[in-house]
């Protein structure tokens, strides 16, 4: 029996409710399941601890334990599945603790994937031929000039590390608000990075959120913008619908999945509007509950099986500093 700790944010009601779907699937899989409060992570010597709740029965959707009674050593877990980053101010501290933890327990996903792939830059590395034209900078003048060079086009400007569609703006051709929006997004000389990206018309028909587990596409749903917003995100009134993957989409996703596995990204949400990959979600990608609501099918166990299976080879090759 595998021992699995799902590390979750305990104070973020806006987060996807994946922890309940995955926890229930892990119980069905026969795993010994803990829910760990990521904000409580701390180190004693070379061991990492967290306040945990030992799960015995299924959870209802979105349920958060009232108390975390068990102080558990995470190094003794077979798997620690990261479903949250905790408080933004302590992000780098959590990442460093996770890296230490990864020397003795398998992390889903790896610290490298959590640190470097969970942003809007990484698509340019993993699938450069399938990305919209994109520029990233904290320099207002640079991005403003890029917009002016082709201001007859429609652009998107967004922060590189936000979620739920926050602060994503549409810049229309010759938009009178473009200059002030770019100024604001770059922090008014505070050197705040953002991305300026060519708007892709394919997204008007909707994009697909695809869940990759163990590098394989497991399930997906579509989402399109509502009549009063350009964003497709469900948290911004995007409209969800059932969909299938074409052969071309599946081939692209399988190739991408192999690259992601190479950096220890075992569970990833991919947003795509073929032929474009719009975004990668490496921490807590939503979708399982939405798909269940749309079609009544629970893919949680499929995800768990593929993820745990795909980690076996990497775990067998792991070299510990204690060896």
DSSP string, 27-53: HHHT-EEEEEEGGG-EEETTEEEEEEE
Q: Say if residue 88 is in the same domain as residue 9.
A: yes
Q: Say if residue 103 is in the same domain as residue 187.
A: no
Q: Say if residue 28 is in the same domain as residue 99.
A: yes
Structure tokens that stand for 118 in this block: 């969970």
**Domain containing 285: what range?**
203-316
Domain end call among 199, 227, 246: 199
Q: Say if residue 207 is in the same domain as residue 185.
A: no
**Residue 125 belongs to some domain of the structure:** no
Cis bond leading into 275, ω under 30°? yes
Q: Say if residue 63 is in the same domain as residue 167.
A: no
Q: Say if residue 158 is in the same domain as residue 223.
A: no
Q: Say if residue 276 is in the same domain as residue 302.
A: yes
246 pLDDT more than 60: yes
**Residue 27 belongs to some domain of the structure:** yes
Which pLDDT score is estimated for 12? Answer: 54
Domain end call among 149, 170, 199: 199
**Residue 127 belongs to some domain of the structure:** no
Our count of domains for the chain comes to 3
Q: What is the pTM of this model?
A: 0.90
**Residue 322 belongs to some domain of the structure:** no
**Residue 323 belongs to some domain of the structure:** no
Mean pLDDT lowest among 18-32, 94-108, 228-242:
228-242
**Residue 51 belongs to some domain of the structure:** yes
Q: Which residues contact 271 (CB under 8 A, 6 or more apart)?
A: 207, 208, 209, 210, 277, 278, 279, 280, 281
How far apart, in whole angstroms, are the C-alpha atoms of residue 266 and residue 306? 9
52 pLDDT more than 90: yes
43 pLDDT more than 90: yes
Q: Say if residue 188 is in the same domain as residue 228.
A: no
**Residue 103 belongs to some domain of the structure:** yes
How far apart, in whole angstroms, are the C-alpha atoms of residue 248 and residue 127? 14
Read off the pLDDT of residues 98-130 as tens digits, 9 standing for 90 and up. Answer: 999 999 999 999 999 999 998 788 999 999 999
205 pLDDT more than 90: no
Which pLDDT score is estimated for 18? Answer: 84
Which pLDDT score is estimated for 68? Answer: 83
Which pLDDT score is estimated for 62? Answer: 74
**Residue 222 belongs to some domain of the structure:** yes
Domain end call among 91, 108, 125: 108
Q: Say if residue 309 is in the same domain as residue 208.
A: yes
* Averaged pLDDT of the chain: 89
Q: What is the CATH number of the domain that holds 263?
A: 3.30.470.20
Mean pLDDT lowest among 45-59, 160-174, 264-278:
160-174
Q: What is the CATH number of the domain that holds 51?
A: 3.40.50.20
């Amino acid at each position: 029996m595998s021992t699995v700790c799902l590390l979750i944010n305990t104070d973020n009601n806006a987060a996807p409710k994946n922890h309940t779907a995955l926890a229930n699937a892990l119980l069905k899989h026969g795993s010994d399941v803990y829910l760990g409060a990521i904000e409580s992570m701390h180190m004693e010597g070379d061991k990492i601890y967290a306040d945990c709740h030992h799960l015995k029965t299924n959870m209802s959707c979105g349920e958060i334990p009232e108390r975390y009674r068990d102080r558990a050593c995470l190094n003794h877990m077979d798997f620690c599945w990261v479903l949250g980053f905790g408080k933004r101010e302590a992000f780098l501290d959590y990442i460093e603790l996770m890296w230490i933890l990864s020397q003795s327990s398998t992390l889903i996903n790896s610290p490298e994937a959590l640190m470097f792939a969970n942003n809007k830059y990484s698509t340019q590395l993993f699938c450069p031929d399938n990305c919209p034209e994109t520029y990233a900078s904290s320099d207002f003048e640079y991005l403003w000039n890029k917009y002016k060079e082709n201001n007859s086009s429609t652009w998107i400007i967004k922060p590189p590390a936000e979620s739920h569609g926050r602060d994503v703006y549409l810049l229309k051709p010759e938009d009178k608000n473009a200059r002030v929006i770019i100024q604001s997004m770059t922090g008014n000389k505070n050197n705040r990075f953002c991305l300026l990206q060519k708007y892709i018309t394919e997204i008007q028909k909707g994009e697909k959120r695809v869940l990759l587990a163990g590098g394989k596409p497991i399930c997906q749903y579509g989402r399109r913008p509502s009549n009063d917003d350009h964003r497709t995100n469900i948290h911004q009134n995007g409209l969800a619908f059932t969909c299938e993957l074409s052969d071309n989409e599946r081939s692209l996703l399988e190739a991408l999945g192999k690259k992601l596995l190479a950096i220890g990204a075992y569970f990833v949400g991919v947003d795509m509007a073929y032929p474009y990959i719009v975004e990668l979600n490496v921490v807590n990608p939503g979708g399982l509950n939405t798909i269940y609501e749309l079609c009544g099918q629970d893919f949680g166990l499929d995800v768990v099986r593929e993820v745990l299976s795909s980690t076996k080879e990497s775990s067998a090759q792991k070299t510990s500093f204690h060896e």
